[in-house]
Structure 1
Amino acid sequence: MKLREELSKVNLGNKEEYARIFSKLVKQSKNNKLKFKVGVFDKGKYYLVNEENRGGSYFIHIVPKEVYPLFCKMQKEIPHSPLGFTVLAGKLNNKEVRISCFGVQCNLLGKSLF
């Protein structure tokens, strides 16, 4: 099975919780209240994965622990492209900051922003 197909079959619990975290990070970034540091940060139920150069942008990924192995595979196999739905959430050092929530459907993420 191809990785994107595998991703489309993911059915996470707590999707609404991850969507709220996504919305909060987008708002913090837009208000310049987000500190960016490259790395993987354990946040309990999920990892916050910050990349410095994916497609020429800074990326902040919310990655639920259940799908972290799939995320890592995709990160290696698709090194320069977005790994799912992303939102442009500001700029840092003249580079776009994009936020994604891996494994959560874009319609839920989009709704969380309103």
Structure 2
Amino acid sequence: MTVQRSEQNTELVNFREKRAESQQVEDKYLNVLEHAKNVAKTNDVMVARLGYREVATHYGCAYKNDGYRVMEEMAERVPGVTYKESRTLCVDDAMGVGGHHIEITFAHPDLAGWMRAHEANAGGNGGR
């Protein structure tokens, strides 16, 4: 019976670690979204477009190409974020990397609520 409890405790610890990891990922999404909000405000638009380098930088990726993975994940998990193929040729396209970006639509009805909820879970770091 002691072995079963030990296994159960291990599962609980793993669950907590996964939750902490999930929260850390959501915090990083918030960093990207805050940067996008600043871009939108600077350009006086409601839609911000970010390439993989900007996403990788503000997410804190170890490798810049990880920005593509993050862009796809954000599009799947965060309302108002879409992963799109870029239509214009840029330097990154010519080098064989690039051609995709995310668009963050700040007028999306669920995005502001998602951000508030996750900022609250992060301990009220909304004023970053």
Same topology, TM > 0.5: no
The structure whose residues are more often helix, as a share, is 2
Which structure: larger Rg?
2
The structure whose residues are more often strand, as a share, is 1
Q: Higher relative contact order at CA 8 Å, sep ≥6: structure 1 or structure 2?
A: 1
Tell me the TM-score normalised to structure 1 length: 0.31
